[in-house]
Each structure stands twice: as C-alpha cells, then as structure tokens.
Structure 1
Amino acid sequence: MMKTWLRTVSVVAVLAGGAVQAADELKPADPEAGAQKANTICMACHGPQGNSVVPLWPKLAGQHPEYIKKQLMNFKSGDRANVQMTPMAMPLTDQEVIDLAAYFSTQTQSGGVADPELAKLGEQLYRAGNSTSGVPACNGCHGPAGMGTGLAKFPRIAGQHADYVKQTLEYFRKGERANDPNAMMRGVTSRMTDQEIAAVSQYVQGLSK
C-alpha cells in the first residue's frame, strides 16, 4: 500500500514538474517570430500584415493580442469550430499563438468605408441600441470608436469587413458560434433583425480611430 502511494506521488510530482518546466519555457511574445509564422500559414487568407482582401475573412491587423490568443486557443480546443481555421490552429504551439497575436496586434489596419444609408440605422443601434426589442448599445463593450478592450477580450471591430461582421453576428444568432463569455453575443443577436445586423455591420466597417 505504501509503495503504491509513493509511486502515485512520484508520478504526480513528475507531471507537475513537467508542467512547470513547460510554463517556464514559454518565452515573451516575439512579433518577429510571429511575422515569420504569419507569412507561412496566415497570409493567404488574412492578407499581408493581417489586412485580408476577402470580405468574409477577418482583418487581424490592429486586433488586441488577448483576443487573437483566445480565438486561436478556442480553435485548438474545439470551443470554436471552423472548417478552415481549426486545422490551421491545431498544430500551433502556445508559443506560436502568443507570437502570432503579438505580430498582428502591432500591424496597422487598413480601415473601411460604410454604406451611408445602412450606416445611419447602424449608428443608432451601435450608440443607443433598440429599447423596444432589448438590443443593448454596442459601444458599451466595444467602445465609442469600436476599438474594444484588450484585457476584457472585447475585440476591436472598427474597420472590420462588414461581410465578416454580418456573418459572425448571424453565427452567434443561430448558435453556430458559442465561444462568447456568458453567451453575451448570443443574447444580443437573438433580438436583432436581419436589417439591424446588416446595418450595424456596415457602420462598424466605416469606424476608425
């Protein structure tokens, strides 16, 4: 009995020691290493310096590193699923994840232009929400200029492709994306109409610093 207990303790100690060692081996984020990795596996979809040219693929340039890291780790763990991103994220090490996040966060986003008619309704929703249906104002989490909050992992949405924003909001509304903390985005989008989603997507595309 004592020998079994000692073996168990030894195994736990080895595993714990390995975990500590692995944590110690994680270096500070290296944007240059992230750039090399991005140019190898990310640029084809997310574009040079993280400014994608395909409207359904998100711009990563200027995004908060905490948010990028969370999304990549969610793809790795299966908390967020995507037929294109999941197989790309799975092989990444923790070090590569933080390096990529550091690289993209330091790049300059290209910005965008909003459809003026849709943006009128979009601005109203973004700043004041819809009190009748219970849609909260977007700026409560994403900020007046759409820059988000890094520590809270609220993403920058200013200048993001309207098509990508619209698709993402629809995924939340249908429950196809469910990695939002406390189901916040699923709750918001469940109250939004198709027109409101299209309008706010156009508005944020035209937002800039």
Structure 2
Amino acid sequence: MKFVKLFVLMAVAAVATPAMAAGDAEAGEAKAAPCAACHGQGGNATIPTYPKLAGQGEEYLVKQLQDFKSGARNNAIMAGQVANMSEQDMQDIAAYYAKQSTEAGQANPDLVELGERLYRGGDMANNIPACSGCHGPAGQGMDAAQYPHLAGQNAQYTEDQLKAFRAAGRVDEPGMMQTIAAEMSDTQIKAVASFISGLSK
C-alpha cells in the first residue's frame, strides 16, 4: 500500500511542475562567485558536508533557492545568501551550475554491494523503492519533475539529508523523501550515500 501511495505522489509531482524562465549561464557565473566558498570552483564542493552543485538540474536548483528564501527550507547560511537574490539571479546561477561537470567521488568498497542494491532495486521487504526510479540509473535526475541529479554527490551531504528527511527536519512536497527515508536504517543510508558518491553520469 505504501508503494502505491509513493507512485501516486511521484506522478503528482511530475505533472504539477510549472515551466521556468530561461537563465543566463554566463551571467550566472559571475553571480555564483560567492558560492564557491562552500560549493567549490565550478560547483564541485570539496567540503564533504556541503553539496556539489555542478551538473544539478536548473529547475531543482531554482526551487531550492526559492525555498531557502521563503523559509520553506531552513538553513541560516543559505537564507543570508539568497536574501537579496531576484528570481532572475536564481535562474542565472542555476543555469551556470547546470552546465558544469560533476566530479565523481570514491565509494567505500565495503558499502558498494548494499548501496548498489538499494539504489537499483530498493528493499521491497521494508517498503523502500529503488532510488533509480526517480533519480535515474546513472544518477542523472529528472529535472522536469525536480528530482535532483545525485551522481558524484558528496556522501556525507547525502547521508545528512537522508537523515534530515527521516527526522522530518527537511520537508519535500509531497513528502516522498520523508516516507522513504523513514524506512531506512543508518547502515542503509550510509551505504546508498556512498554508492551515489561513486556514480558518474
């Protein structure tokens, strides 16, 4: 029954996504200069607790920036960064990062088997669907539905976000990730986060 609800939620999210105005990647490069302090040159963060933005979908990035600005997503650092951003600024920055190439990380060999199994096939006995169903077999994401690009993402960041979803400290609409993460153990979260880090699009 939980799987049926999840698929309905995924379908609603995919259909309900509004069209977004085009951003200017060249303008975005200059506007993104302050972002490099946390997110690295070209969006490849080297600090493991910060996300890589390189290769991320434009629509997903704009939505996250909007959520930080509105307070729908709570982060004191990002709230300050987006306070004076216009919608055009957000679109330009998102366009810039979307054109960058993600540098893959290195998965922990001890966690690859479990991580790949969860990513590609889920855990049906515990109502955990395959990550690849929304995020793609190569972690490329589905930007039209605002499902993020995951390939190469910092493992610690992914682990932290899954735990935040599980604790309902981070909320997505219509609640898919909270529902999924609620069924995941610490070991499963660590394994899938590590596997994602080693994926290359």
Normalised by the shorter chain, which TM-score bucket?
Answer: 0.7 to 0.9
1:117 maps to 2:110: yes
Give the structure 1 partner of residue 15 of structure 2.
Answer: none
Give the structure 2 partner of residue 33 of structure 1.
Answer: 27
For the Cα contact (< 8 Å) 2:21–2:91, is it kept in 1?
no
Instruction: Indicate which of 64, 83, 96 corresponds to 1:103.
Output: 96
Give the structure 1 partner of residue 131 of structure 2.
Answer: 138
For the Cα contact (< 8 Å) 2:43–2:53, is it kept in 1?
yes
Sort the Cα spacing of 1:195 and 1:27 in 2 relative to 1 into closer, same or farther, 3 A: closer
Output the CA distance in 2 between the equivalents of 1:29 and 1:62: 15
- 193-202 or 27-36, which deviates more: 27-36
1:174 maps to 2:167: yes
Displacement of 1:181? 2.1
Displacement of 1:136? 0.8
Give the structure 2 partner of residue 164 of structure 1.
Answer: 157
Sort the Cα spacing of 1:143 and 1:194 in 2 relative to 1 into closer, same or farther, 3 A: same
Aligned residues: CA RMSD:
1.3
1:62 maps to 2:48: no
Output the CA distance in 2 between the equivalents of 1:175 and 1:83: 18
Give the aligned length.
Answer: 182
Output the CA distance in 2 between the equivalents of 1:30 and 1:144: 29
2:149 counterpart letter in structure 1: R
Displacement of 1:89? 1.2
Gaps of at least 5 residues in structure 2 are 1-19
Output the CA distance in 2 between the equivalents of 1:182 and 1:97: 23
Give the structure 1 partner of residue 176 of structure 2.
Answer: 184
Task: Note the alpha carbon deviations across 1:54-102, whole angstroms, 9 max, x for none.
Answer: 0110000010001000000000111101121111112101110000000
Deviation >4 Å, runs of 4+: none
Displacement of 1:163? 0.3
For residue 52 of structure 2, give the secondary structure of its aligned residue in structure 1.
coil
Gaps of at least 5 residues in structure 1 are 1-25
Displacement of 1:202? 0.4
Output the CA distance in 1 between the equivalents of 2:199 and 2:135: 11
Aligned ranges for residues 37-48 of structure 1 at < 5 Å? 37-39=31-33, 41-48=34-41
For residue 174 of structure 2, give the secondary structure of its aligned residue in structure 1.
helix
2:111 counterpart letter in structure 1: L
Output the CA distance in 1 between the equivalents of 2:84 and 2:113: 43
Displacement of 1:158? 0.6
Give the structure 1 partner of residue 14 of structure 2.
Answer: none
Q: Which has the higher contact order (CA 8 A, sep 6+)?
A: 2
Task: Note the alpha carbon deviations across 1:81-132, whole angstroms, 9 max, x for none.
Answer: 1121111112101110000000000011111110011111010111111111
2:51 counterpart letter in structure 1: P
1:85 counterpart letter in structure 2: M
Output the CA distance in 2 between the equivalents of 1:32 and 1:73: 21
